[in-house]
Structure 1
Amino acid sequence: MAHSGFGMSAAVYLGLAALAAPAMAQSISDGKVKIGVLTDIAGPTAMANGRGSVIAAEMAAEDFGKDLNVEVISADHQGKPDVGSQIAARWFDVEGVDAIADMQGSPIGLAVQNMAAQKSRIMLLSGSTSSDFNGKACSPLTVQWTVDTYNLAKGAAKAVTEAGGSKWYFLTVDQAYGHALSRDTSEQVKLNGGQVVGNSVFPPNTSDFASFLLTASNAGANVIAIAASSGDTVTALKQADEFGLSAKAKIVPLQSVLTDVHAVGLKIAHDAYEVSPFYWDRTPETRAWAERFYAKAKIMPTGFHAGVYSSVAHYLKAVRAVRTDDAPTVMKQMEQERVHDFFAADGYIRADRKMIHDMYMLRVKKPGENKGDWDLYNVVQTLPGETVNRPLSESPCPLVKK
């Protein structure tokens, strides 16, 4: 009897498994998983994101798309939200794009996000850094993977105030992430006992920072914080050095990346602090991946590049696991699986759509300390993900249950 009962259970189990099989093997729409990398290909952040972000996505497709038909396409949004929106609309409606990666620039990310939600497509943000993406503008199918203005602000404010930077003056690019970066950093400076003595707002791609730097110096600032992306950061760093301000104040580029420091050089950038999600020379695993990337891109990867790879790899793992590119199903799987790769040792996606991972306090090396062209930083401190990101209890994201 026991044997016959076992047989019945097995038959029932096999029958249920047969019924479940089609659900598990839902078809991939168009028979293809299509990922669009929307980024700045030829503009001021092209080195920080750009072609490198496309290469990173292609590497992830090579590594994790072996049993899927994966296609990676890319486009240049030219730094314009309307252009970015037009490209995304065409990708969704005509070209069958399932997910958009990188999305350099918060204004473009914010412009595209509602459309992506309406069309049920996933957004993997690496280059959109405004903390509003995990705050008031959070969206169920968007993940902010790499960095945000809150964790950049928290890390920088703590390190720089502890090093004696008490009077802060901000140079803020007149864009969504620039204002978010200044706002978030100002709050953290005050929490750390510092003082904000002024803020100059400038248009993107400014060529002359003289008046802003002079105003900051006259305000008695001992910290000049640059809330801008690569092009403006590089220009401001160079001009601050020309005016001899680095002798009077700590120059803190709040969103600088490896390629910015490489462009400016150690003579100008040395001793600057940078909060980063990634440094290529930190571990054997980061070095191994960076060497692969370098062979293709001819530059060492920035945190944005590493974040694009990590986010696309995690997305493809989820698609493989659920055998569908249905966005809500894939996102649920992405939330369930932890992130274990060279980028994040034990990362995870929170309810506010922030991927939580450690950040690193870097300090730019002095000339002569470096052993090679891309050996630019010392890792000063690891900032644990839970401590450097906004507490969920304080999140204005509507997806977070209070």
Structure 2
Amino acid sequence: MNTFSKAVRYGCVLAFAAGNAMAQNAQPLRIGVMTDLSGQFSHEAGPGAVNAVKMAVQDFGGKVLGRPIEVVVNDHQNKPDVAASKAREWFDTQNVRMVNNLINSGVALSVIGVAKEKNRIAIVNGAGSSRITGDACTPNSIHYAYDTYALARGTGEAIIKQGGDSWFFLTADYAFGHALESDTISAVKAKNGKVIGTVRYPINATDHSSFLLQAQGSKAKVIALAGSGTGFINAVKSANEFGIAKSGQQTLAGLLVWITDVDAMGLEIAQGLTLTNGFYWDRDEETRTWSKRFFALTKRMPTMGDAGDYSSTLHYLKAVQAAGTDDTATVMEKMKSMKVNDMFAKNGYIRADGRMVHDMYVYEVKKPSESKYPWDYYKLKAVIPGDQAFRPISDGGCQLVKG
């Protein structure tokens, strides 16, 4: 082969390689939203989670590193095995680089394991189990909006300060309920409160009468509902029918209360509930502005999970841009080095165990007479600084934490 032929051949090889690299770079960056679109958690996540992630993509500009950003969506049906299978398919065949929301702690724990296996990123906003940054932590997962430790500390300590020093738990029988019960019991005992008893109900239970009778019979000052979704709403409605709150003898504690729960129940039933939250749409002008945009799309105000979905997606995309790559380890390192400053959190940061640290807020649900306009549901009782709201990193049992 003469020199000219060699040069032509070498030039063709270079052109092919450059063309192949350009084709790869033009491939869309895919983000997956795995949520409950049809079940009992669809009202606090579902379409809202999807819209929040899409808002973040739109606000970022729709492209990163010259590549279009695509959002793919899956209904996990509250089945961890279904969620794990879809996550594996997304990572293996659809080049999904990050998956978000993951409401339902069983689902979240399952999917973060797949993300670790496939070296992709999982961000949890919907689920709350503190195991996600504890014994189940991974180098590929982030727990963003809230967790059961923060809920337990905020609500548990607030109610104990009000004199609620004896507790009975109605607990949803799945990973989230168990974690919330455990973390709240620890918070109660740390303040010299006592636990009279617990009873666990099936996650899809619609009739809580027998469980509430046990709670009433316990004579505990506080009946704590360690659950979420329609199961929680049904339990509060049943407690109202039993006249528990009106009796003045026992206090009802909602350990996870979404603003959509309050809207579904109405203030007449929900009034007086103490709750801990990571985001409230009416907190300040910045939260109101963003929330009104969200409302225009979803026809409801955002939950803390929705706000976390938006914030964390934007934070991820900023990290990809800053890192100049979508490589998982590089992006995770960049996300942990960058502060979060947006409508969700100020000076938030991601720890080595994956916990995003930010302020949490204790609210009380307003009486109907106190509400002045639609979705005006909460009054602020306390602000818990982030470094106090979440479990100390040394106490979680995460194997990523040195020392």
Short-chain TM bin: over 0.9
Query: Structure 1's 223 and 28: CA in aligned 2 closer, same or farther, altered over 3 A?
Result: farther
1:269-288 Cα deviation digits (max 9, x unpaired): 10100100000000100000
Tell me the CA shift for residue 373 of structure 1.
2.2
Residues 362 and 380 in structure 1, CA contact (< 8 A), matched pair in contact too:
yes
Which residue of structure 1 aligns with residue 315 of structure 2? 314
- Structure 2 contact 336–349 (Cα < 8 Å) conserved: yes
Q: Which residue of 2 aligns with 1:166?
A: 165
Q: Which residue of 2 aligns with 1:142?
A: 141
Aligned pairs for 1:35-46 (under 5 A) are 35-46=31-42
Q: How does 1:1-400 map to 2 (within 5 A)?
A: 31-68=27-64, 69-247=68-246, 248-400=249-401
The amino acid that maps onto 1:142 is S
Assess, with a 3 A threshold, how the Cα gap between structure 1 residues 370 and 94 changes in structure 2: closer, same or farther: same
TM-score normalized with structure 1 length: 0.92
Task: Give me the whole-angstrom Cα distance separating, in 1, the residues matched to 2:281 and 2:402.
Answer: 37
Amino acid of the structure 2 residue aligned with 1:359: M
Q: Alpha-carbon deviation of 1:207?
A: 1.0
- Give the conservation status (yes or no) of the 8 Å contact 1:26–1:323: no
**Cα offset, 1:67, TM superposition:** 3.7
Aligned in 2, Cα 1:97/1:266: closer, same or farther, shift over 3 Å? same
CA contact (8 A) 1:172 1:178 kept: yes
**Residue equivalent to 1:18:** none
Query: How far apart, CA to CA, are the structure 1 residues paired with 2:351 and 2:371?
Result: 38
For each residue in 1:243-277, what CA deviation from the matched residue of structure 2 results, as whole angstroms up to 9, or x when unmatched? Answer: 00112311111111000011001111101001000
Cα distance, 1:28–1:60 mapped onto 2, change above 3 Å: farther
Distance 1:392 1:256 in 2: 25
Q: Does structure 2 retain, via aligned residues, the 8 Å contact 1:101–1:308?
A: yes
**d(CA) in 2 for partners of 1:300 and 1:110?**
27
Amino acid at match of 2:167: W
| 1:107 match: secondary structure | helix
Q: Is the 8 A contact 1:27 1:323 kept in 2?
A: no
Q: Extract unaligned runs of 5+ from structure 1.
A: 1-21
Other-structure match for 1:14: none
TM-score normalised by L of structure 2: 0.92
Partner Cα distance (2:109, 2:84) in 1: 10
Any stretches of 5+ residues in structure 2 without a counterpart?
Answer: 1-17
Aligned partner letter, 1:98: R
Structure 1 residues 252 and 328 mapped into 2: Cα distance closer, same or farther (>3 Å)?
A: same
How many residue pairs get aligned? The number is 379
Distance 2:24 2:388 in 1: 39
Contact 1:167 1:195 in 2 (8 A): yes
